[in-house]
Structure 1
Amino acid sequence: MPKSPQSHLDPRQPLVADTTKLPRQPGATRALKRVIPAPADLGLELLSVPEGSDVELDLVLTSVSEGVYVSGNARGSLVGECGRCLNEINESFEVKIAELFAYEDSTTEETTDEDEVGRMQGDLIDLEPALRDAVVLTLPTNPLCRQDCPGLCPDCGVHFDDLPAGHSHEEVDPRWAALRNLTNTEE
């Protein structure tokens, strides 16, 4: 089966790891610590990592028989808005990364689908997909500014925290609405 062409990785890019100094002996390790600018679109619609903000990578690259196992943590900041009240959210995140990157022409590369296992390009590893998966999969689809956020009043749109305790809106049965208009015109 012919291999699909892969784009060429630039080792100077912040999310590309060069493994030339990592021996291809199972068990050999190398620490990778760096602060990188966050790539674009790292997150979900309501909560994401601001593009260009600092993301701290604290990783260990480990040689295994079929490739390089990358494990460790990524830390940074998130911004967005609450899914209930639309207040701004500013918080930090820390996610675990654990991903195998198969050597070119390894048994793992030949026996797995392209999206199952990361692929190395020569001695280079593109860490962006692993980082993206780790961050996006931990984010809530409906983020909250706090767990007990009461949200907004559906009738007037004011935050429930800013309204009095007995706040309510008069609901008129639509079948009687015409009678209400009659009393207003007589006055």
Structure 2
Amino acid sequence: MATSRSAHTKRKPRSPLVLDISRLGRRPGSMLELHETVPSPSRIGLDLVAIEAGADLTLDLRLESVSEGVLVTGTVYAPTRGECSRCLTEVTGDVEISLTELFAYPDSTTESTTEEDEVGHVVDQTIDLEQPIVDAVGLALPFAPLCTEDCAGLCPQCGVALASEPGHHHDVIDPRFAKLAGMFPAADADTPEPGAGPS
């Protein structure tokens, strides 16, 4: 007996940032408050610092029904992890963002008069907060994170973190003179200088 392909197709689990708003209703002024912690569905942030996938996202939000859709306001807080842009050591911290996002109803004027990426949309009685959070976190995080404001970075000669070795340096010969130094043999300490007679 043949089995339909759909029977074997696993449905992708819904992102914890996709919220069911069926309890909210569409009467303007209806409101729900959401206070919960969910795992981040993906790495959110910049190349050098981000909220790691699975990290706790603390949501403190208000969902309000308005004439054109659902208005989401509130804050999202999460820990961050990355590396110092100067010395590459690990840095940890946190980020808190404020959200004010409208999700348009399918048959609203807002939906029909805006581009798809200009405003969020209510889809099958759900709203997806992931993209607004991604956008806000990207603006809130530092492009070049530092372990300390005065981080000295890495030694350009050997790569050691300068903060871990105070006074670290290398004796560097000016490359213009290095070739000249190799053209003359080192003076022999036992050879008298020209013109020097016996004492």
Tell me if structure 1 keeps the 8 A contact 2:75–2:99: yes
* Aligned counterparts, 1:1-187, within 5 A: 13-165=15-167, 167-183=168-184
The amino acid that maps onto 1:97 is L
Q: Distance in 1 between matches of 2:162 and 2:88?
A: 12
Larger radius of gyration: 2
Aligned counterpart, 1:5: none
Deviations 1:56-111 (A, max 9, x none): 11110011111001111111111110001111111122111111100002100011
Aligned counterpart, 1:6: none
Tell me if structure 2 keeps the 8 A contact 1:11–1:17: no
| CA drift at 1:12 | 5.4
Tell me if structure 1 keeps the 8 A contact 2:60–2:76: yes
Tell me if structure 2 keeps the 8 A contact 1:104–1:122: no
SS at match of 1:61: strand
Identity across the alignment (%): 48
Tell me if structure 2 keeps the 8 A contact 1:11–1:124: no
The amino acid that maps onto 2:175 is P
Q: Distance in 2 between matches of 1:24 and 1:163?
A: 63
Q: Distance in 2 between matches of 1:56 and 1:135?
A: 13
Q: Distance in 1 between matches of 2:64 and 2:58?
A: 19
Change (3 A) 1:82 1:47: same
| CA drift at 1:168 | 4.2
Q: Distance in 1 between matches of 2:32 and 2:184?
A: 82
Deviations 1:32-70 (A, max 9, x none): 122111122211111111111211111100111110011
- TM-score w.r.t. the length of structure 2 is 0.80
The amino acid that maps onto 1:126 is D
SS at match of 2:182: helix
Q: Distance in 1 between matches of 2:90 and 2:166?
A: 23
Q: Is there any run of 5+ residues in structure 1 with no aligned partner, and where?
A: 1-8
The amino acid that maps onto 1:80 is G
Tell me if structure 1 keeps the 8 A contact 2:71–2:102: yes
Q: Is there any run of 5+ residues in structure 2 with no aligned partner, and where?
A: 1-10, 189-199
Runs of 4+ aligned structure 1 residues displaced above 4 Å come to 9-12, 184-187
Q: Distance in 1 between matches of 2:185 and 2:41?
A: 60
